[in-house]
Structure 1
Amino acid sequence: MTDAPTPELSGQHEDRAPSVPRTPRAEVRERLLAAGARVFAEQGVHEARLDEIAAAAGFSKGAVYSNFASKEDLVAQVMQRATNTVLHSLQELVGTDVTPDRIGDVVRAAFDRHDQAAQFALLSELRGYAMRHPEFLPEFVRQRRHLQDGVRDLVHTWFGAHPEVDPGMPLDVFAVLLIAANTGMVFDAPAVDGTDPGEAVAALVEAVVRPR
């Protein structure tokens, strides 16, 4: 009795489906977060479905549960991503080497980096969700304070490196006003035709940054 020839010896080859590279987990998570931000902003957090978010990211619903404990966890991480994006952008641009005569242009550049309307739409939805879901409110407050602390640190660092500049007010107050001016200008943008939010906030900064 002879052994049957193997496919390799007989010239026959098994058909094998080409292997599909697995998407790195970090990339899956980032795509889900980006899709979550878009869907939450467009549909609202309450109306958004996880399968829609997964599909928008190019995955199945199981990918969401493989990366996030729940919808609430995804909401929190989407907000954290948005907060980090703003802070990282400011930290990259507002260095101590930025001279007082350039600080206004740096603020304009920070606004140009991101779609302010889309960011505000997401923030509005997250704020509304936090008001309707008290269990999420502490996370919303924590992240807003994280943003405020980051902006305050940048303000203190920059002014500390430029003692020749007089802000005319306590630096903590100035930091709060910057965030409030940013949020308020984007909120009212449709009602103030022709006024660019970035230009308005830059003008505020330039008015405050004066030689002693």
Structure 2
Amino acid sequence: MRTTKRLNREESQARTRELLMRSAASCFAKVGFEGTSVDEIAENAGFSRGAFYSNFADKHEILLALLQRHLAHDLRDFEAIVAESTSFDTFAEKVAARYRELGDNPDWCLLMVEFQLRVSRADKTNDVFARLYTDYRHTVSRLIARAFTRFGTKGQLTPADLTVTLIALSHGLALERAASKNALPMALTGKAMKALLIGAARDSGAP
């Protein structure tokens, strides 16, 4: 007879926390941060309101936890792309492939839009969400600068400007796709990213 392993206290809490985070991501993507209640997050995950507050102080804390994990994963992938690429064209292709993968999960793109809205409404620059977003942009910019240096490429846009443009393009296309009820192909974002990177860069020796 097959026996079911009983989760210990730490494993059970980690599982509960993970299910609550998945529920929050889904709810925020569907109806927005402001339109989602703690009760909805808990109920959608199959838990009580008390279970939510045993793991998170409020909606802001669970949104922050979601974003910290997602952005950390995104930066690890971006760093690996820079390290594994053998040319700037390869780098651009790998970045395009990465954004095509993100297109397969449009909820994350919509969640990032919620994040940007939260940052834009912050009343101070040292807000934890604003700091997280600033650190994320700066890290992506440094990675793009590393790629420029490694492949002897000089961008017509600075790494900082190119970072902002890439983020804006990916999020804008995610909103367009959502507004068109997924009529736009997911591959479009990847293609647009590759065209932007190739078009925004030139060989350092070019006139």
TM-score range, shorter chain: 0.7 to 0.9
Q: Is the 8 A contact 1:41 1:121 kept in 2?
A: yes
What corresponds to 2:136 in structure 1?
Answer: 147
Instruction: Report % sequence identity.
Output: 25
Q: TM-score, normalised by structure 1?
A: 0.74
Q: How far apart are 1:154 and its partner, in Å?
A: 0.8
- Inter-partner Cα distance in structure 1 for 2:91 and 2:120: 36
Range that drifts further, 124-133 or 181-190 = 124-133
Q: Is the 8 A contact 1:103 1:206 kept in 2?
A: no
Map residues 49-198 of structure 1 onto 2, 5 A cutoff: 49-95=37-83, 97-115=85-103, 117-129=106-118, 134=123, 138-163=127-152, 165-189=153-177, 190=179, 196-198=188-190
| CA radius of gyration, larger in | 1
1:43-93 Cα shifts (integer Å, max 9, x gaps): 222232223322333433333212212232222222323322332332233
Decide which of 12, 17, 21 is 2:7's aligned counterpart. 21
SS at match of 2:83: coil
Decide which of 189, 202, 205 is 2:194's aligned counterpart. 202
Q: Which runs of 5+ in 2 are unaligned?
A: none
1:147-169 Cα shifts (integer Å, max 9, x gaps): 20121111122122222x22234
Q: TM-score, normalised by structure 2?
A: 0.75
Q: Is the 8 A contact 2:110 2:171 kept in 1?
A: no
Q: Is the 8 A contact 1:51 1:61 kept in 2?
A: yes
